[in-house]
Amino acid sequence: MKLKIIDAGNFLADGGAMFGVVPKVLWQKSYPCNAQNFCTIALRSLLIDTGNRVFLIDNGCGNKLSEKFYQNNHVNIQVNLLENLAKAGYRPEDITDMILTHLHFDHCGGSTYRSADGIIKPTFPNARYYTTKQQWQNMLHPNVREGSAMFQQDIVPVYEAGQLTFIDGNCELVPGLGVQLFHGHTPGQLIPWVEVDGRKIHYCADLIPTVANIRTAWVSAYDGYPVTTMQEKVPFLEEVCNANGLLFFQHDYYTECAELVKTEKGVKAAKTGLLSEFVALS
């Protein structure tokens, strides 16, 4: 089992949005921001090569939308997922399985691309793409909170190509690699896990976007159901801590990974660092 971290870029997000009702005087001690209150947020994909199959988890914002859209959303598209995939030794054709944690554009925008003739096509032509029925329905009929974060062109061409598969519950996709469902950030979010060196690595997506969000009440204002997020985080963190698992952060610009410890005030990060400091990547 080989793991590769693939940089899909970064963007700026308002600190108040990242930490919800938590006052800035508290959260800025844990996560820095600039003078305009913007935090730098990573877009960190994870490639898992089992030897027989090559899985990729999320694919960033892509680059097929207008320049104005990326500017308005403070997205750095100078960092290219496919270029970094190539640097890791993989082509789009090599990806056999594309796990989409959910269908917000910063997680699945790279699922499709605009060809030279203007047609939007799946980026990974040989891949089976995974999402949930809840996310598919949300994308087709988005609520007022998610309407500006979902674009049909990111995933409908994948469906039309016959490459989309729906996951309905917690399951193992191959031995040592599976997903869990969570519903606080957005209904039907997939949180993948992979077991390496006897430790489960949990790709946190938007359940716990940064190490600062480990705290129960520190939930994002982007969450559609913040109380549900808080209720989901507590048993999830207990489970990961009890099993000596690891959290892998998709969005934390400064921290890739954390192991946990129980305290009187709940579960917190005991050690943080690069994923390679905790497990062998190849």
Instruction: Please state the domain extents for the chain.
Output: 2-277
| pLDDT tens digits, one per residue of 220-255 | 999 999 999 999 999 999 999 999 999 999 999 999
282 pLDDT higher than 90: no
In this prediction, residues 7-19 reach a mean pLDDT of: 96
pLDDT of 145 reads: 86
In this prediction, residues 115-143 reach a mean pLDDT of: 96
Q: Which helix (H) or strand (E) holds 81?
A: helix 81-87
- Ranges of beta strands (E only) in the chain are 2-14, 38-49, 54-57, 75-76, 97-99, 112-114, 120-122, 128-131, 164-166, 171-174, 177-182, 189-196, 199-203, 246-248, 257-263, 266-273
Instruction: Give the residue ranges of DSSP H helices in 175-250.
Output: 226-242
pLDDT of 135 reads: 97
Q: What is the pTM of this model?
A: 0.96
| pLDDT tens digits, one per residue of 192-218 | 999 999 999 999 999 999 999 999 999
Compute the distance between CA of residue 133 and CA of residue 130 in angstroms, rounded to an integer.
10
Task: Name the DSSP class of 49.
Answer: E
pLDDT of 77 reads: 83
Pick the CATH number of 2-277 from 3.30.360.10, 2.60.40.10, 3.60.15.10, 3.40.190.80: 3.60.15.10
In this prediction, residues 102-128 reach a mean pLDDT of: 97
| Number of Cβ atoms within 10 Å of the Cβ of 161 | 13
In this prediction, residues 50-61 reach a mean pLDDT of: 97
| pLDDT tens digits, one per residue of 164-198 | 999 999 999 999 999 999 999 999 999 999 999 99
Q: Work out the mean pLDDT of the chain and round it to a whole number.
A: 96
